[in-house]
């Protein structure tokens, strides 16, 4: 017997629509049930959402995503049209369409994981743009926060051996932990191995953490290379003058770094030097694939096997062999003239989505900014009128100023992200047009970035690299050329042939 499609139904009306004629949940449900029975689709669950102006979150939408995640045999979502399912830019990222058919009933379109249809192509492009927008927004916000680092303050956690004062800004030496750090540097500067230093610290009674008396070799290696201990603040390879006191002398730090060079262990080498490090995981055990240099010049990759014994740990593959496989992966991405119109359409539609999303976000942030400024003014007046005491005033004002800072950072991030959005569209087209020639000219770290952009789930087994193409690039892959030779996993798009 043929297996019937099992589906969920999602219907939604916005608060605006409810005021108008002709929009109702019932009408959508009728349409969708009618469609289901004509197509012999079993509806297993209905999710309906009638938004009110007050309640903006989409609870049923989230519920549906949870339901789909849990259920094994539901493979389709029925909706009236695209904007029912994706109200928000962000939703594109949440709905995993590599697993479900999405039936856009009124638009008479089915987006399936199997067929690279026109609709799916446009859709894939929108997914990528939405995802990039949100990633960029996060990145820009982070950048804004990190401007604070340039002023010499630690963001978040301070290094082991320091602590933050109550004002959360001033960093001082933690006299309980600092001796551990000083002793570690001394011992390592004497030329002892990490293993030896680690054990000697313990023997001499230096306790790393209450729960872990001994420090691990990896943690020790990192600690001994942390230049922040001399009173500077290193952020993204730039060194700023720190606002915290030095815990050790520059001289001692330098001596310890010399020991690292003598040790000559590839273990603590910066991954940035290796083109494909951090890109792949082991197909057997899921651990990271790392690289090391053999005989001073040959680069080999292998499984780190950190989760226990993995057979792959002893299997080394040369960088050249990996490079060749990724080269082929990129080579297979190409843009045919007939696709250009789809891309233009996708960009146009995505632009409209983005506009709505960021306008909404800006309005919310500005409202919050206004509210906070008003509060700050009000409490300041009350303070000068002697209506409240100093302690209460200080507490409030510092919290609200912090919140205000965060909002201003977010507003600026939004502004910068919007500027980037246009570049993103161009980047996608450029990448599609000349993926290979762009790729081949790059330095290793840029190559890795581009691979991350085009591929995901890269794994290594023996000498074989496997990967998935990201949306929408999966639609532009010349499948014949790459399938023959390499293990390409066709999880999110499959040619119908
Ligand atoms: Zn492994």
- pLDDT digit string (tens) for 382-397? 998 988 888 888 888 8
* pLDDT > 60? residue 5: yes
What value does the mean pLDDT take over residues 228-243?
A: 79
- CA gap 407, 281 in Å, rounded: 38
Extract the tokens encoding 463. Answer: 């000498």
CA-wise closest residue to 75 among 45, 49, 105: 45
Q: Which residue has the higher pLDDT, 269 or 115?
A: 115
Q: In whole angstroms, what is the distance from residue 489 CA to residue 329 CA?
A: 11
Q: From ligand 1's centre to the CA of 224, what distance in Å?
A: 28
Mean pLDDT of 141-159: 74
Distance 461 CA to ligand 1 centre (A): 8
Q: How far is the CA of 287 from the centre of ligand 1 (A)?
A: 5
Cα 474 to ligand 1 centre (Å): 27
**Of residues 100 and 235, which shows the higher confidence score?**
100
- SS3 track for the chain: CCCCCEEEEEEEECHHHHHCCCCCHHHHHHHHHHHHHHCCCEEEEEEEEECCCCCCCCHHHHHHHHHHHHCCCCCEEEECCHHHHCCCCCHHHHCCCCCCEEEECCCCEEECCCCCCHHHHHHHHHHHHHHHHHHHHHHHHHHHHHHHHHCCCCCCCCCCCEEECCCCCCEEECCCCHHHHHHHHHHHHCCCCHHHHHHHHHHCCCCCCCCCCCCCHHHHHHHHCCHHHHCEEEECCEEEECCCCCCCCHHHHHHHHHHHHHHCCHHHCCHHHCCCCCCCEECCCCCEEEEEEECCCEEEEEECCCCCCCHHHHCCEEHHHHHHHHHHHHHCECCCHHHHHHHHHHHHHHHHHHHHHHHHHHHHHHHHHHHHHHHHHHHHHHHHCCCCCHHHHHHHHHHHHHHHHHHHHHHHHHHHHHHHHHHHHHHHHHHHHHHHHHHHCCCHHHHHHHHHHHEEEEEEECCEEEEEECCCHHHHECHHHHHCCCEECCCCCCCCC
Give the Å distance between the CA of 456 and the centre of ligand 1.
18
State yes or no: pLDDT of 90 exceeds 70: no
Ion ligand 1 neighbours (CB, 5 A) are 282, 284-285, 287, 303, 310, 312
Per-residue pLDDT, averaged over 36-50, amounts to 91
What is the rounded CA–CA span in Å between residue 329 and residue 260?
37
User: Where is pLDDT greater, at 433 or 96?
Assistant: 433
Task: State the helix-helix crossing angle for 390-440 and 340-384, rounded to 10 degrees.
Answer: 160
Candidate ranges 79-83, 191-195, 268-272, 436-440; pick with highest mean pLDDT: 191-195
Best CA proximity match to 372, nearest among 414, 406, 412 = 406
What are the tokens at 433? 């047009």
Task: Give the pLDDT band of residue 155 (cuts 50, 70, 90).
Answer: low
d(CA 12, CA 15) in angstroms, rounded, equals: 10
Residue range 192-226, pLDDT digits in tens:
889 999 999 999 999 998 888 899 988 899 999 89
Q: How confident is the model at residue 91, as a pLDDT?
A: 65
> Measured in angstroms, how far is the CA atom of residue 458 from the centroid of ligand 1?
13
Q: Predicted confidence band at 256 (pLDDT cuts at 50, 70, 90)?
A: confident
Cα(46)–Cα(10) distance, rounded to whole angstroms?
6
Ligand 1 centre to CA of 488 (Å) is 19
Tell me how far apart the alpha carbons of residues 351 and 128 are, in angstroms, rounded to a whole number.
12
Q: Look at 142 and 160; give whichever has higher pLDDT.
A: 160
pLDDT on residue 272: 47
- Beta strand 298-303 with 289-294 is antiparallel
Lowest mean pLDDT among 352-366, 407-421, 441-455: 441-455
- Write down the pLDDT at residue 140: 85
Ligand 1 centroid vs 270 CA: distance in angstroms? Answer: 21
Number of Cβ atoms within 10 Å of the Cβ of 52: 9
How many other C-beta atoms are found inside a 10 Å radius of the C-beta of residue 441? Answer: 10
Q: Domains in the chain and their CATH numbers?
A: 6-113 (3.40.50.1390), 120-150+276-497 (no CATH), 162-264 (3.90.1750.20)
Q: Pick from 109, 108, 90, 110: which is nearest to 100 by CA?
A: 110
Ligand 1 centroid from CA 284, angstroms: 5
What is the rounded CA–CA span in Å between residue 47 and residue 63?
Answer: 8
- Ligand 1 center–CA 301 separation, angstroms: 12
Q: End-to-end distance of the chain based on CA atoms, in angstroms?
A: 24
Residue 55: the pLDDT is 58
- The CA 486 to ligand 1 mean position distance, Å, reads 20
Sorting pLDDT into bands at 50, 70 and 90, what band is 468? confident
Checking if the pLDDT of 285 tops 60, the result is yes
**For residue 280, is pLDDT > 50?**
yes
Mean pLDDT of 31-35: 94
Share of the chain above pLDDT 70, in %: 82
pLDDT of residue 306: 64
pLDDT at res. 495: 37
Q: What is the pLDDT of residue 475?
A: 75
Q: What is the mean pLDDT of the chain?
A: 80
14-23, 45-54, 184-193, 464-473: lowest mean pLDDT where? 14-23
Q: Are 68 and 100 a contacting pair, CB within 8 Å?
A: yes
């Amino acid at each position: 017997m043929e297996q019937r499609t099992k589906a969920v139904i999602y219907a939604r009306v916005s608060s605006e629509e409810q005021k108008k004629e002709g929009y109702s949940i019932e009408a959508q449900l009728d349409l969708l049930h009618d469609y289901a029975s004509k197509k012999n689709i079993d509806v297993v669950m209905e999710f309906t959402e009638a938004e009110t102006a007050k309640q903006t979150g989409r609870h049923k939408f989230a519920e549906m995503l949870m339901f789909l995640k849990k259920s094994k045999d539901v493979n389709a979502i029925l909706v009236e049209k695209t904007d029912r399912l994706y109200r928000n830019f962000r939703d594109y990222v949440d709905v995993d369409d590599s697993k479900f058919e999405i039936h856009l009933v009124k638009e008479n379109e089915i987006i399936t994981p199997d067929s690279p249809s026109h609709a799916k192509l446009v859709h894939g492009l929108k997914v990528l743009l939405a995802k990039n927008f949100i990633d960029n927004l996060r990145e820009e916000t982070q950048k804004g926060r990190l401007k604070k680092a340039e002023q010499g303050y630690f963001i978040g956690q301070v290094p082991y051996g320091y602590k933050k004062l109550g004002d959360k800004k001033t960093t001082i030496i933690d006299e309980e932990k600092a001796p551990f750090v000083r002793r570690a540097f001394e011992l390592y500067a004497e030329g002892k191995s990490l293993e030896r230093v680690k054990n000697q610290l313990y023997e001499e009674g230096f306790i790393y953490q209450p729960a872990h008396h001994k420090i691990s070799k990896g943690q020790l290696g990192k600690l001994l290379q942390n230049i922040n201990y001399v009173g500077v603040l290193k952020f993204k390879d730039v060194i700023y003058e720190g606002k915290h006191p030095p815990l050790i002398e520059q001289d001692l730090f330098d001596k310890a770094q010399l020991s690292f060079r003598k040790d000559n262990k590839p273990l603590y080498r910066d991954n940035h030097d290796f083109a494909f490090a951090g890109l792949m995981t082991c197909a057997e055990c899921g651990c990271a694939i790392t690289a090391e240099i053999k005989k001073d010049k040959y680069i080999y990759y292998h499984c780190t096997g950190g989760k226990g014994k993995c057979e792959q740990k002893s299997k080394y593959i040369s960088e050249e062999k990996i490079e060749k496989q990724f080269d082929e992966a990129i080579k297979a991405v190409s843009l045919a003239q007939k696709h250009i119109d789809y891309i233009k359409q996708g960009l146009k539609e995505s632009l409209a989505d983005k506009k709505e999303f960021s306008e909404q976000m800006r309005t919310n942030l500005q409202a919050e900014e206004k509210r906070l400024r008003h509060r700050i003014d009000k409490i300041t007046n009350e303070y000068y009128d002697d209506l409240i005491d100093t302690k209460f005033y200080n507490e409030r004002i510092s919290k609200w100023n912090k919140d205000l800072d965060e909002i201003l950072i977010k507003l600026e991030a939004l502004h910068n992200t919007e500027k980037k959005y246009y570049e993103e569209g161009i980047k996608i087209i450029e990448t599609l047009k000349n993926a290979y020639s762009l790729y081949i000219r790059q330095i290793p770290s840029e190559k890795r970035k581009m691979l991350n952009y085009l591929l995901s789930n890269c794994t290594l087994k023996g000498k074989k690299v496997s990967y998935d193409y990201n949306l929408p690039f999966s639609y532009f892959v010349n499948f014949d050329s790459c399938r023959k030779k390499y293990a390409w996993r066709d999880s999110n798009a499959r040619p119908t042939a």
